[in-house]
Structure 1
């Protein structure tokens, strides 16, 4: 357990000290349905990091319930058609698997990641981080394993609701047309957030606080 925690910390430090965080030049792209979208160029190719800001009309515990419900990822995360928990590492920390349905003729992808959710007891801010752990499960012959991925949700309570900031970085791997890459950059995160907002209306999340989040 201690080794796993140390590994995650080292991996996170590496990611945050790499090209992912060296450039903070976010470019505003658009605002739609209360969702503000920013891009940041990665290297010399077509890849871009994505940042999205939006407000949630839900409390923190409801959001945490939905974000950590791995078995329901396929109901709101863009193009995810199957998800499962591989391992419970500790309180509010799991290793999980996602299979991603890619547009034909591209090969479907899959990903293994570790999610950790934690709350600042003073500010009540909730953070959910997903760190790629692609070696956590043997690769499948008919799928392309995503080996470069990081995502972070920050939820901050305000007088007008919960402000959510989402940062997403991923290299889907393999050969993909620029149009497909841009599809996942432009439509993926926005559709996922819209899906998350729908999920937050479900009573099973509204009436539960299994992760002991302070609202």
Structure 2
């Protein structure tokens, strides 16, 4: 009986381990392409058309300059893909804000809007900066002219390297509503890439280079 039990447990353990390994493998990031020093990876989400995005790149800048741009909410429409309007709803703390974006969608889709909270923190020892955006869709009454995005998360991890800052960006979003796969993939494929390119242009501006209003250690 002991032999049978041990054999059964061994088989179950093998099946469980294999299943977990297969699941983790299926959720690994897959390299897609590299453009202008920006490496793009995708990871499939569930059984639908959605994909998470990871981007790795290097900024010719310092940490405080990038943080200044990331927390300049009124200027989001100058670099974040398809954002046509952005407003700070409330300042929660020195490095934490709640904001509202309106997103221009290609016709005939209804435009989207999103309410999110951004928080930036820094490790005092390693100088690593983490910037996280978490959806807070109930933070503002719904507008009948927009589809409110209710599933959104983004994270920047910034580290000092020789000659600049290495950035890793992870992006997850479900635009909601009934959208064709091609349109969803347009925002997944082109959105983050164009936003990163826009951010790189923004941090070249003097108004970000000459300020460190958030106490970031470079």
The answer to whether the superposition gives a TM-score over 0.5 is yes
Match of 1:68 in 2: 71
The alignment partner of 1:187 has SS state of helix
Shift of 1:160: 2.8
The alignment partner of 2:77 has SS state of helix
Shift of 1:159: 1.3
Match of 1:155 in 2: 158
Structure 2 stretches of 5 or more lacking a match? 1-23
Q: Give 4+ residue runs of structure 1 displaced > 6 Å after superposition.
A: none
Match of 2:181 among 178, 182, 189: 178
Match of 1:196 among 174, 196, 199: 199
State how many pairs are aligned.
Answer: 195
- 1:3-152 equivalences under 5 Å are 24-152=27-155
Shift of 1:23: 6.7
Distance in 2 separating the partners of 1:88 and 1:34: 34
Match of 2:6 in 1: none
- Determine whether 1:214 maps to 2:209: no
Stretch deviating more after TM superposition (154-163 or 69-78): 154-163
**So what's the TM-score if we normalise by structure 2?**
0.88
**So what's the TM-score if we normalise by structure 1?**
0.89
Distance in 1 separating the partners of 2:39 and 2:50: 19
Distance in 1 separating the partners of 2:189 and 2:166: 21
Distance in 1 separating the partners of 2:164 and 2:94: 26
Aligned-pair RMSD on alpha carbons?
Answer: 1.2
Task: State the structure with more CA Rg.
Answer: 2
Shift of 1:24: 4.5
